[in-house]
Amino acid sequence: MPTLLFILIPLVLVTSISGQDSQRYICSATGYYRYEDSQCRKYYMCYKIPYANTEIWYKTFYTCPSSLIFNPTSSMCESTAFCIDSICLGRTYGETMADPNALNKDMPVTYVQCIGTVKLYPEIRTCPVLPVATYFKCQSYYSSVRNQCVC
């Protein structure tokens, strides 16, 4: 019986970034991250490779197919994701808001924070697990009413 094999290949590879923007795209953890772009289709992958008794961070840039946008919360290209590229317009540094792409809308564990020096841009943050008592912990969630993570 014949077997079908599917291989996914990135459609577009972004080759470089320059100037101040390059500081924003420094890798410090393995994963997929949003790249600022008005159509919310660009993203990059960070990963480490062993090299001469150490590890070097690498990043590879990708673009979602034209019918999809990159969801920074799920780290996937999706058709139903909300583009957060302009969510910080008119906001102040450090301001937080509910993550429009949160998986659980009633008790979201992710939120958006506006950061940056020259221009504010959105970063997805995750609420921490907080100690409630000696033996118990609580996965906090983002409260839009209090604009902070609560248990």
Question: CA–CA separation, 45 vs 23, rounded Å?
Answer: 15
pLDDT on residue 89: 93
Q: CA–CA separation, 81 vs 86, rounded Å?
A: 14
Which long-range CB contacts under 8 A does 46-54 form with residues at least 24 apart? Answer: none
Domain boundaries, given as residue ranges, for the chain: 10-83, 86-151
Q: pTM to 2 decimals?
A: 0.75
Distance, in Å, from the CA atom of 46 to the CA atom of 60, rounded to the nearest integer, reads 7
Does 4 score more than 50 pLDDT?
A: no
Q: How far apart are CA 59 and CA 47, in angstroms?
A: 6
% pLDDT > 90, the chain:
58
pLDDT in tens, 47-105: 998 888 888 899 999 999 999 999 999 999 999 999 999 999 999 999 999 999 999 98
CB-facing half-sphere around the CA of 140: CA atoms within 13 A: 18
The confidence band for 132, taking pLDDT boundaries of 50, 70 and 90, is: confident
Quick one: which H or E segment has residue 24?
Answer: helix 21-24
DSSP assigned state of 21: H
Angle at alpha carbon of residue 34, lines to 28 and 36, rounded to 5°: 115
Confidence of residue 37 (pLDDT cuts 50, 70, 90): confident
pLDDT, residue 23, reads 52
- Which residues are CB-neighbours of 13 under 8 A, at least 6 positions away? 60, 61, 62
Question: What pLDDT, on a 0 to 100 scale, did the predictor assign at position 12?
Answer: 40
Contacts of 23 (CB under 8 A, 6+ apart): none
